[in-house]
Structure 1
């Protein structure tokens, strides 16, 4: 088929299927101040044809929701549940079957994870991520597990490759004294490191100011969501001049970019925000105002992390994404990251299939 014929012949969806996965974690992962010990989600698969050419793609759709390790509802992240997403996709697949692949972009949904998943499937089927290999670069995630001694964190920092110059550190998890001690201990081991701090709205304004006043500003790239009340972020900046970033605030359905004093970066979690087109518009607007945009994981499995890594090279090529979250996963999903076990579709529960 010639290039002209390919352009005039639509790519038609000929088979769609939905599988469900559950992966256990070796150690609890932080979700704000909560912890999870399992990751649940869906895989949406598609086969499509364009004339005599056939294409196949898989995407992970895993809203960050459900229950934590204390059986409490996870709050502050995905606004939809996995059950709602599954129900919507089961209803959508028969409507999408035998339609042009562009119907994936036209499908109306209020769920961010569905919008992202459908747009990602469209991009994969059209080969838009094919020339972008997974980036070997990521910003290591440093956090202190429950009841873990500081010495254990120190060992992980000491083990960092010398080519790593930036790490993400979870804060607002313990007492202020311990938080400050953690930062100084990290920098005592690696004074060359730049720190991306993530408070997940864990500090009051007073606590945020006290914390920031006790750590070296020259080593801090920014602190994500420093204050329980986001309206206090500018006051925090005027008090200590520590740059801050937005993360959870972007998840609000009515969020609109607004440049504010001290705003340094947007931490973009595609699974929580929506379609690739929406991400592109937000990134363009932020960059026009000199605000960095950094793609970050929502604790996806390896299939989702691979896609985020490739997408980051397209949308934010000058930034290192925050996708260092696979260490705790016991198994990979469809795409191997090097673990001993990698789940394939045949290993998963088939929810629905149409062809």
Structure 2
């Protein structure tokens, strides 16, 4: 058994903010077992573990595997990477649907870019916008512009739990609800999110609630589960959420956590398997100014830092 762990660092095209943390590079790990790969990339501000903690657990797991032991990682990003690297991927999956575009940045700059963006060639059916990051009036003005310029496009809004119940309600009362597909996690507490949905009629989706493994229940205003495997962890836990979504007639959206091109390809395959009719939330790759794989999909090991190489000694 050939075992290896590598570390990568890819620059963002421009620094991005993650929960008030400014990042210029995306850093993560690539684990290899007998030529199959997995990605381990905790997202600062969202993952509970640090990259250093993920690296330590990954090295310990590989050492245990080299001794012929069975490993059970405990950190979500490590669980995801090791599950992918040891997975028997289904054959003949349908071609993944193209992801919907993600808009991120200051509202004024985005409004200015709207005038130069040629959407007319192919209007997106859905568009995702991060909210609860700038002044409410500016974000509402941007949404008004988007709704006017893209009348057939449904808007997905993602607040990352950034509002109080009162602020979320004030925001939602001024939304063009007919054009809003759903609002992800307006508040940090599920009870507050439900209260906002009931008060305003906005459709909602859950994201952080799932990765934090908090209690939730189906509600008429709950439309979708946004599943981020890097943050949730084991693929079996993700699959349990997919089954629960199907039982509750909820949409499933497989979403990224700014993984490298390797991770995005694997997430697209999971989206094809779990939600073949739902465009995934995987439009993050263009924020990265580098790749870890070549055009054939092979990891360019010469461009990443080798942390460990070992063989099964058992």
Query: What's the TM-score once normalised by structure 1's chain length?
Result: 0.81
Aligned to 2:92: 131
Q: Give the 5 Å matches for 1:340-351.
A: 344-351=300-307
CA RMSD of aligned residues (A): 2.3
Q: Give the 5 Å matches for 1:26-37.
A: 26-32=13-19, 34-37=21-24
Aligned to 1:217: 177
Q: State the Cα deviation string for residues 30-78 of structure 1 (Å, max 9, x = none).
A: 434544221000010111xxxxxxxx2111111112xxxxxxxx3xx11
| Contact kept? 1:33, 1:200, Cα under 8 Å | no
Does 108-117 or 30-39 show the bigger shift? Answer: 30-39
State whether structure 2 residue 277 is matched by structure 1 residue 318. Answer: yes
Q: State the Cα deviation string for residues 190-237 of structure 1 (Å, max 9, x = none).
A: 111001110111222222122212121111111001124432112111
Aligned to 2:290: 331
Name the CA shift for 1:107/1:160 in 2 (closer, same or farther; >3 Å): farther
Does 133-142 or 38-47 show the bigger shift? Answer: 133-142
Name the CA shift for 1:278/1:204 in 2 (closer, same or farther; >3 Å): same
State whether structure 2 residue 241 is matched by structure 1 residue 282. Answer: yes
Q: Of the candidates 121, 127, 151, which is equivalent to residue 85 of structure 2?
A: 121
Name the CA shift for 1:265/1:136 in 2 (closer, same or farther; >3 Å): closer
Name the CA shift for 1:265/1:35 in 2 (closer, same or farther; >3 Å): farther
Aligned to 2:76: 112
TM-superposed deviation, 1:260: 3.2
Q: Give the 5 Å matches for 1:1-355.
A: 14-32=1-19, 34-47=21-34, 56-65=35-44, 74=45, 77-97=46-66, 99=68, 107-123=71-87, 126=88, 128-132=89-93, 135=96, 137-145=98-106, 148=109, 150-156=111-117, 158-159=118-119, 161-252=121-212, 254-336=213-295, 344-355=300-311
In structure 1, C-alpha distance between the alignment counterparts of 2:276 and 2:260, rounded to whole Å: 22
In structure 2, C-alpha distance between the alignment counterparts of 1:326 and 1:243, rounded to whole Å: 27
Does 312-321 or 299-308 show the bigger shift? Answer: 312-321
In structure 1, C-alpha distance between the alignment counterparts of 2:294 and 2:260, rounded to whole Å: 9
State how many pairs are aligned: 311
Residue aligned with 1:332, SS:
coil
TM-superposed deviation, 1:169: 0.8
TM-superposed deviation, 1:343: 7.0
Name the CA shift for 1:298/1:309 in 2 (closer, same or farther; >3 Å): same
In structure 1, C-alpha distance between the alignment counterparts of 2:214 and 2:279, rounded to whole Å: 24
In structure 2, C-alpha distance between the alignment counterparts of 1:224 and 1:336, rounded to whole Å: 34
Q: Which runs of 5+ in 2 are unaligned?
A: none
Name the CA shift for 1:286/1:244 in 2 (closer, same or farther; >3 Å): same
Q: State the Cα deviation string for residues 151-179 of structure 1 (Å, max 9, x = none).
A: 124434x4475252101111112111111
TM-superposed deviation, 1:147: 6.9
Name the CA shift for 1:149/1:58 in 2 (closer, same or farther; >3 Å): closer
Name the CA shift for 1:30/1:336 in 2 (closer, same or farther; >3 Å): farther
TM-superposed deviation, 1:134: 5.9
Work out which of the two has the higher radius of gyration on C-alpha atoms and give 1 or 2. 1
Q: State the Cα deviation string for residues 266-300 of structure 1 (Å, max 9, x = none).
A: 11100000111111111101210112221100000
TM-superposed deviation, 1:81: 1.0
| Contact kept? 2:110, 2:142, Cα under 8 Å | no
